[in-house]
Amino acid sequence: MYQRYLQLAKIVDKKSVFLLGPRQTGKSTLLRSQFPEARYVDLLEADTFRELSGHPETLRQRLQPQERLVIIDEIQKLPSLLDEVQLLIDRNKDLRFILTGSSARKLKRGAANMLGGRAYFLNFHPLTSIELGGGAARILDRCNFGSLPAIIDADLPKRDLDSYVGIYLKEEIQAEALTRSIENFARVLNFSAHLNAEQINYTKIGNDAGVPPRTVRDYFQIFSDTLIAHILPSFEKTTKRKAVATEKFYFFDLGVARSLARRGEVALGTPDFGKALEHLILLELLAYRDYNLKDISIHYWRSQSQFEVDFLVDESIAIEVKASSRVATQDLKALKALEEDWPLRRKIVVCGENQRRVVDNVEIIPYAEFLTDLWGHLIVA
């Protein structure tokens, strides 16, 4: 079992927590290891679900006076239970809840009680570099099979990934009746995988999948709400070079994206590795931000004249990802173009070089060292 970076005890001391993340990221394993004495309520258990859906007050009636922590798994299956949770929190200021979910859609769109500031919202991610050994540990495994704990160590990870996608469609989409046509949704999902880490073009995806663009847009909202995709906004504050407004999207896991696209194996030094490395760096940035409760933004920037910077963190740290073993002068042009239009605190190229160096105030950092620096709080303070 992996030692997860997120330590919830100090957070829960202050306030209850919504812990949201896709299936099989390891939420339940984390909670049972960190809070073995807590009261667990698993809404995937049919008898538990039936009882609490009919009589939510049972949760309050069975709680013992000495209990201080209640963990409710898959809270999105029974949003009405949140009224009971709020009542219990208001009556006992020492009582805490950890409410897990693999989808925020029913909570966001069903007018659920979100506890009015009584709980933090935390996103839970697949395994990160620091949890896998630090630096670039198992980077090719991650590029090919992703970072879900049960899959990265599986005997047949590719088969398990294909099965995972099927489970997602069946349990998250079909079972929750999130769309009228699972067939159309599946086609859009598959075509979207081929455009992972690209700007979202609803018309192109719709044409390829035979689905109206408006429906594609709705499906992308489902991707976001069920936590399988990250929508990356464009940074639009530059004035000399007008920025495009189109968002980009990345699947929450590299392996899931590759399975859906049915792509072959990633090897070092290939264009596929370059795209995978960009994707991986974003996932690490998001996990670092979420686990450390950092209130920072992450954008990408692209000018209408086609300059593009992969990531702009906290509107002041520009990061370009290049998998090449030697960064050329032309690879710095987009960073310099952005700095001409917007003040930057740091400019970084994450790359495949062996040693770090500085060129024209641009930091050239090998990707293993960048990941070590990130989790050592040396990239984002």
Q: Where are the domains of the chain?
A: 9-123, 139-375
Q: What is the pLDDT of residue 183?
A: 87
pLDDT-derived band at 116, boundaries 50, 70, 90: confident
CA atoms of 113 and 116, how far apart (whole Å): 7
Q: Are 41 and 100 in contact (CB under 8 A)?
A: no
pLDDT of 178 strictly over 90? no
By mean pLDDT, which of 43-52, 53-62, 176-185, 282-291 is the weakest?
A: 176-185
Q: Residue 112: what pLDDT?
A: 60
DSSP 283-346: HHHHHHHHHTT----EEEEEBTTS-EEEEEETTTEEEEE--SSS--GGGGHHHHHHHHHS--SE
Task: Identify the pLDDT of residue 176.
Answer: 61
The mean pLDDT of 134-153, rounded to a whole number, is 94
pLDDT of residue 110: 54
Confidence of residue 1 (pLDDT cuts 50, 70, 90): confident
In the prediction, which pLDDT does 175 show?
Answer: 64
Q: For helices 202-209 and 182-193, what crossing angle results, to 10°?
A: 120
Q: In the predicted model, what is the mean pLDDT of residues 1-28?
A: 94
| pLDDT value at residue 226 | 84
Q: Are 115 and 85 in contact (CB under 8 A)?
A: yes
Per-residue pLDDT band at 171 (split at 50, 70, 90) = confident
What pLDDT, in 10s, does the model give residues 217-262? 999 988 888 889 999 999 999 999 999 999 999 999 999 999 998 8
Q: Look at 50 and 112; give whichever has higher pLDDT.
A: 50
23-74 confidence digits (pLDDT tens): 899 999 999 999 999 999 999 999 999 999 999 999 999 999 899 999 999 9
pLDDT at 211: 93
Q: Does residue 104 or residue 108 have the better pLDDT?
A: 104
- The rounded percent of the chain whose pLDDT value lies above 70 is 96
Mean pLDDT of the chain: 92
pLDDT level of residue 103 (50, 70, 90 thresholds): confident
State the pTM of this model: 0.94
pLDDT at 7: 94
Reported as a pLDDT band with limits 50, 70 and 90, residue 309 is very high
Distances (CA, A) of 228 to 72, 104, 120, 197, 225: 21, 11, 21, 13, 8
Q: Mention the CATH class of domain 9-123.
A: alpha beta
**pLDDT for residue 177:** 59
CA distances from 225 to 83, 143, 180, 198 (A): 22, 24, 16, 19
**Mean pLDDT of the region 116-133:** 94
Predicted pLDDT of residue 263: 86
Can you tell me the mean pLDDT for 273-283?
Answer: 97
